[in-house]
Structure 1
């Protein structure tokens, strides 16, 4: 533990409740499926975003589906954004970003409709 800044260099800074709430708040401005609440869960090194499937494209019964996985690489300070390939059942790297705000901007716009399907 570094006593000056209070951080254990061996532990990841993510997930943490402040950034989880920041993501949750930012996603309320998204362009797609604004009428459902996204669920943001902390996972090792980042966050999992899930949401009910309103389009019924992925889950015909409208169940909760994976939307995105965010992973923060503490060594490079880069955010890795993964999208779910629902047909194959695997996560695929979509993009990388230096700032969490750029990640939430991407998720909110979703111009290619790869997250909010």
Structure 2
């Protein structure tokens, strides 16, 4: 049986995987999101195309991914009004959580 390698810490491979998944997003398609390691998690930011959060179209926080233990990823959305991260879901694979960010039919991540 072949087992897929698990990446549990910061690294370019995880960042690239996140960026690759974000290419299929349905909202904010014409801007380039940023993915960076910050405070023990991957943080996704993007220019605010809708100007709902930032009237000047500045960069806003979109989502945060944490990998606190093996086989657990956590996804958070930014509550811009309250200035805090709100837990949205947990999964064993980061791709499952990124699918929520990419589809975002309810504009939880891409306001």
TM-score in terms of structure 1 length: 0.84
Query: Is the radius of gyration larger for structure 1 or structure 2?
Result: 1
Alpha-carbon distance in 2 for matches of 1:72, 1:13: 6
Cα displacement (A) at 1:41: 0.2
Alpha-carbon distance in 1 for matches of 2:106, 2:72: 22
How many residue pairs are counted as aligned between the two chains? Answer: 105
Q: Which of residues 110, 113, 117 in structure 1 aligns to 2:107?
A: 113
SS at match of 1:116: coil
**CA contact under 8 A between 1:14 and 1:44: conserved in structure 2?**
no
Aligned partner of 1:19 in structure 2 is 14
Whether 2:81 is the aligned partner of 1:87: answer yes
Aligned partner of 1:9 in structure 2 is none
Cα displacement (A) at 1:28: 0.6
Cα displacement (A) at 1:112: 1.7
Per-residue CA distance 1:65-95 (angstroms, 9 max, x = gap): 0000100112x52111011100011111111
Cα displacement (A) at 1:15: 1.7
Aligned partner of 1:5 in structure 2 is none
Alpha-carbon distance in 2 for matches of 1:106, 1:14: 22
**Are the structure 2 counterparts of residues 108 and 93 from structure 1 closer, same or farther at C-alpha, using a change threshold of 3 Å?**
same
**CA contact under 8 A between 1:78 and 1:97: conserved in structure 2?**
yes
Whether 2:49 is the aligned partner of 1:54: answer yes
TM-score in terms of structure 2 length: 0.89
